[in-house]
Structure 1
Amino acid sequence: MTHGTHNAVDDPRNENVLIYINGELFPRSEAKISVFDSGYLVGDGVWEGLRLHKGVLVFLKEHYNRLFQGAKTIGMDLKMTRQDITNAIWETLNANEMQDGVHVRLMFTRGIKKTPSQDPRLTISGPNLVIIAEYKKADPKSRDRGVTLFTSTIRRGSPDYLDPRLNCHSKIHEVQALVQAIEAGADEALMLDINGFVSTCNATNFFMVKDGEVWTSTGQYCMNGITRGKVIEICEKSGITCRQKNFSLFDAYGADEAFVTGSFGGLTPVTKIDGRVISGSVPGAMTQKLQQLYEKEIEHAVQISKV
């Protein structure tokens, strides 16, 4: 059975959700896009994963900042304002009568190509926008059980050829890393940077705890995670020492606790890295404290959005 940070509780309502494609809504079974789409052909696009919590799209500003920065980085004009996108998201949510416990996948590609090619000049349409909203709650079993990691030989890229902060559709190196981890019997992959320091995981960001301090990578070679940023902010506000620094597997193997972060799963404990036991019981005291503080941060975001 699949186990990892993206495990979700099964919800039969998802069989009948409506999917947004370029201003139209389609039943799940009829939602399709051209085989000449840039995202399908060459992975040319940017995306975001959002949470709808108690009627509020949580941390929407931060997600938009990352989305528009990514689009600008790859030279793609989304042809929509933030408000236009928000309207499209709510059109989708309202059509599905959704208010809580929802995960929204927002995907832009450069558009339809005249012929299979990398060349953006051969794009013959405007950008394609697909919005998939599903009833999706993280399976509490993942948090209770924790996840195991395996260090992949696939490295996080250098900013001069594929900046890890770019939330783009091209994810094959992360898939490769995850395949290695699965084949090694682990749940997810831990990835090093080009200098051999611990960077991130294949789909989440990595943190460790040592002697009451929280450590995470410098951020130079890791995903620009919204939840990662929130955890760092929470530590600063709560007087918890959080160091963004270079550290190696030597340090990670000796951690008192470890956890990974992501918009969907929040904070998920890590029990083993490369077979070394990090924590026999989860969550550890610091991880549990940060889980609680992160949930309070979400509730605060909901409150101020409704003022």
Structure 2
Amino acid sequence: MGYVYLNGGFICSDQATISVFDQGFLYGDGIFESFRSVNGRLYQFDQHYRRLLQSARALNYPLTFSQQDLEEILLELQRLNELTHGYFRITITRGRGEIGFQHHMDSNLTCLIMAREFSGFGAEHYEQGIRLRVAATRRNAPEAINPQIKAISNLNSLLGKLEARAAGAFEVIMLNNKKHICEGASSNIFWSKGQWVFTPDVSTGLLEGVTRATIMRLCEQKLNLRVVTGEFKLQDLKFADEVFITSTSLEVMPVVKVDDFTINQGTVGPIAKSLRNALRQEMAAAKQN
């Protein structure tokens, strides 16, 4: 049992309730952001807040709290839950409404913020690498669902996760409707060849991860690697020296197998290790936003 923030107050998590008429529950009409704190300091929250605003504007949500307002709530929630390295999720929905799409869209928003201690993943995953499955499920076309909205109605990714579980894989690679590599169900993908690092372009329909942007910067600033974005086929991975995936929770996770194809003779390469070390150093040194 811990504390959550719900619609203006801090309450015990087992006492938190949301209406059965909440539009997030009925229609997936909601957005979210997940991020971390390190040694009690919020990490890159300014980027996550900007993306939250981006999602809210796309759905015409009238957000009334500022970045400072949210930071104060997050830090208090962190204190109440006695967190050192926190993992937070902000969920905002259109709030209580009616059944059917013909009702008015102006409701009081539901805002739920949860926080727990960040536990991460076992060291063996980073030391031995993981396996990816190429999903049969295609990523939603950007013309159908704007990928820049981080929506709670994420059935597309869930289908990918179910494929990974059925195959005994850690994560999936999702292709877009043009059969170009897009992203994982909940991660971004990179691969290297020599001093070049490749990652799909936003035009493929991926969500621009905050960690993705950080890794691209660290590649060039810290490791003297050239980052290239574009539209790539699965065949490109077979020529890679290394493959790795990134996210807020994964950080930099090395990949040693894609379906039945082995990457780098099944061993974790130096770039993934160096990037994770560089990321963790930056996280530890980061100041409060």
Normalized against structure 2, the TM-score is what? 0.93
After superposing the two structures, state which structure 1 stretch, 138-147 or 270-279, moved more.
138-147
Q: CA deviation at 1:52?
A: 0.9
- 1:171-211 Cα offsets, whole Å, 9 max, x none, are 00111122122222322111012221111000000011122
> Among 192, 206, 223, which residue is 1:222 paired with?
206
Q: CA deviation at 1:87?
A: 2.0
After superposing the two structures, state which structure 1 stretch, 233-242 or 67-76, moved more.
233-242
Q: CA deviation at 1:282?
A: 4.6
Identical-pair percentage? 27
Q: CA deviation at 1:122?
A: 5.3
> Among 133, 136, 143, which residue is 2:115 paired with?
133
Instruction: Kindly indicate whether residue 82 of structure 2 is the aligned counterpart of residue 109 of structure 1.
Output: no
> Among 183, 186, 192, which residue is 2:166 paired with?
183
Instruction: Kindly indicate whether residue 218 of structure 2 is the aligned counterpart of residue 206 of structure 1.
Output: no
Instruction: Kindly indicate whether residue 146 of structure 2 is the aligned counterpart of residue 152 of structure 1.
Output: no
* Equivalent runs, 1:1-307 vs 2, <5 Å: 16-98=1-83, 100-113=84-97, 115-119=98-102, 121=104, 125-139=107-121, 140-220=123-203, 221-238=205-222, 239-302=224-287, 305=288
After superposing the two structures, state which structure 1 stretch, 261-270 or 75-84, moved more.
75-84
For 2:4, the aligned partner's letter is I
* Structure 2 unmatched runs, 5+: none
Please state whether the residue corresponding to 2:286 is helix, strand or coil: helix
Please state whether the residue corresponding to 1:69 is helix, strand or coil: helix
Residues of 2 paired with 1:41 and 1:253: CA distance?
43
Residues of 1 paired with 2:56 and 2:101: CA distance?
16
Instruction: Tell me if structure 2 keeps the 8 A contact 1:44–1:170.
Output: yes
Instruction: Tell me if structure 2 keeps the 8 A contact 1:212–1:286.
Output: no
For 2:129, the aligned partner's letter is G
Cα 1:120/1:157, change in 2 over 3 Å: farther
For 1:103, the aligned partner's letter is Y
Normalized against structure 1, the TM-score is what? 0.88
* Structure 1 unmatched runs, 5+: 1-15
Cα 1:120/1:296, change in 2 over 3 Å: farther
Instruction: Tell me if structure 2 keeps the 8 A contact 1:78–1:108.
Output: no
Instruction: Tell me if structure 2 keeps the 8 A contact 1:156–1:164.
Output: no
- 1:219-277 Cα offsets, whole Å, 9 max, x none, are 22111100000011112213211111221110113321111000112011112111211
Instruction: Tell me if structure 1 keeps the 8 A contact 2:46–2:67.
Output: no
Number of aligned residues: 286
After superposing the two structures, state which structure 1 stretch, 41-50 or 81-90, moved more.
81-90
Residues of 1 paired with 2:102 and 2:271: CA distance?
49
Residues of 1 paired with 2:133 and 2:185: CA distance?
10
Residues of 2 paired with 1:42 and 1:63: CA distance?
24
Residues of 2 paired with 1:259 and 1:88: CA distance?
34
Residues of 2 paired with 1:237 and 1:288: CA distance?
16
Instruction: Tell me if structure 1 keeps the 8 A contact 2:40–2:86.
Output: no
After superposing the two structures, state which structure 1 stretch, 209-218 or 259-268, moved more.
209-218
Please state whether the residue corresponding to 1:182 is helix, strand or coil: helix
After superposing the two structures, state which structure 1 stretch, 73-82 or 129-138, moved more.
73-82
